[in-house]
Structure 1
């Protein structure tokens, strides 16, 4: 059975860079059975209600500015998958989770940067999902849990965000691989409680985790919440595995977590 994955999407430049993290994401897809479809939650599709894409052919959204021209030349022409979208809607309804259908929106960089690195041929159908920045972690967990049955049908669930994603603290001029202590301490706290499947602590990370206000600032909750969607999708086995962790710009965390 396919796992669910939480993947940090980092900065848009990852799409054209060659480094430790981009190499890892390129190799990650080769370690997984080929999915029939991919369901992806992106932190850059913020919506105050759960949305499910019923899009036949996705456009590529360049939701950033001031980057090299090469980044704007990338196209990720993934096709949608109506059957999987309908299955998602059924599972959400059965769990009492409200949703709305989206028929037009393309893939933002939180989705296509990850997919471009893992599946560059864009030949696996995709269903995009929004992230609600105002819900509680336990609510995101329940949404993921509601969709866990998809994994038994060879559908890969990916959630895209960042465990430490505070661009006001990031040093974009830094080429160092070292990370600020506060970012590392937060990620280590997260690792301990994810591996223990300690949902009580994790759901209260904002008061329990060291320097959570820096790692997950109030304006950036939508980047952290995706880990709970992925975790919820692993509720049946409750096994979390840290696949990769590195840092850029002094504190931007590149974490990949696998939930069985």
Structure 2
């Protein structure tokens, strides 16, 4: 059975860099067995109704600006998987989860930066999924839970985002290895709750987590919530393991969580 993962996508420049985190993601791809397909929930695809990407081949979306021209030359031409899309539709119908199929959207950098590190050949079919910031964490968890049977068919489920992701306080011109104490405090709290699978506290993170308004700003929780989709996919096992954590620019977290075994 495939585990599910929450993977931080970091800043777009990550796609051009060679550092501790990019090396970890490459090693992760080498360690994992080749999946039949990847189902990826992207923080950069927000929708009021769950969207399921069903395309023959994804175009690469450059949803950022002001970066090196080399970033805009990168392409990740992953194929889609109509077979997995059909299984997702059946799972959602069974659990009465509303959804829509999108046949035009490409892969945003939340998806392709991560996937390109783990599977650089773009040889694993992908089903891109949206996230809904207006759902409760429990509802997001239940969407992931509905897809849990796919893991038994060698489908890798990924939530791509960031546990600490606040562009209002990130220090893009200060990359000296120092990390803000509040960011570590939030991630430490998260690690304790995740490893205990303490859903009650996790669902109530906005009230219980320290420094939550800095780590998960009130105006945007879209980068944090993919963790609930990925976690829900491992509900049968309730096993969470932090496999990597580092920081850039003072507080931008690069966390990777493995759910299930």
TM-score bracket, shorter-length normalisation: over 0.9
Q: Distance in 2 between matches of 1:39 and 1:231?
A: 13
1:249 is matched with 249
With the length of structure 2 as denominator, give the TM-score of the two structures: 0.99
Residue-by-residue CA offset, 1:54-104 (whole Å, 9 max, x unaligned): 111100000000000110000000000001011001101111100000000
Structure 1 residue matching 2:219: 3-state secondary structure: helix
Structure 2 residue matching 1:150: 3-state secondary structure: helix
2:6 is matched with 6
Q: Is the 8 A contact 1:2 1:151 kept in 2?
A: yes
Q: Distance in 2 between matches of 1:220 and 1:119?
A: 29
- 1:156, CA displacement in angstroms? 0.3
- 1:218, CA displacement in angstroms? 1.9
Q: Is the 8 A contact 1:243 1:257 kept in 2?
A: yes
2:62 aligned with 1:62, yes or no? yes
Q: Map residues 1-260 of structure 1 onto 2, 5 A cutoff.
A: 1-260=1-260
- 1:220, CA displacement in angstroms? 2.1
Structure 1 residue matching 2:26: 3-state secondary structure: helix
Residue-by-residue CA offset, 1:194-248 (whole Å, 9 max, x unaligned): 0000000000000000011110012221100000001100100000000000000
Q: How many residues matched? A: 260
Structure 1 residue matching 2:184: 3-state secondary structure: helix
Structure 2 residue matching 1:222: 3-state secondary structure: coil
Q: Distance in 1 between matches of 2:46 and 2:174?
A: 29
- 1:30, CA displacement in angstroms? 1.1
Q: What 5-or-longer segments of structure 2 have no aligned partner?
A: none
Q: Distance in 1 between matches of 2:259 and 2:33?
A: 15
Q: Is the 8 A contact 1:165 1:220 kept in 2?
A: no
- 1:178, CA displacement in angstroms? 2.0
Residue-by-residue CA offset, 1:151-189 (whole Å, 9 max, x unaligned): 000000011000000010000001222210000000000
Q: Distance in 1 between matches of 2:76 and 2:86?
A: 23
Structure 1 residue matching 2:75: 3-state secondary structure: coil
Q: Distance in 2 between matches of 1:30 and 1:219?
A: 37
Structure 1 residue matching 2:221: 3-state secondary structure: helix
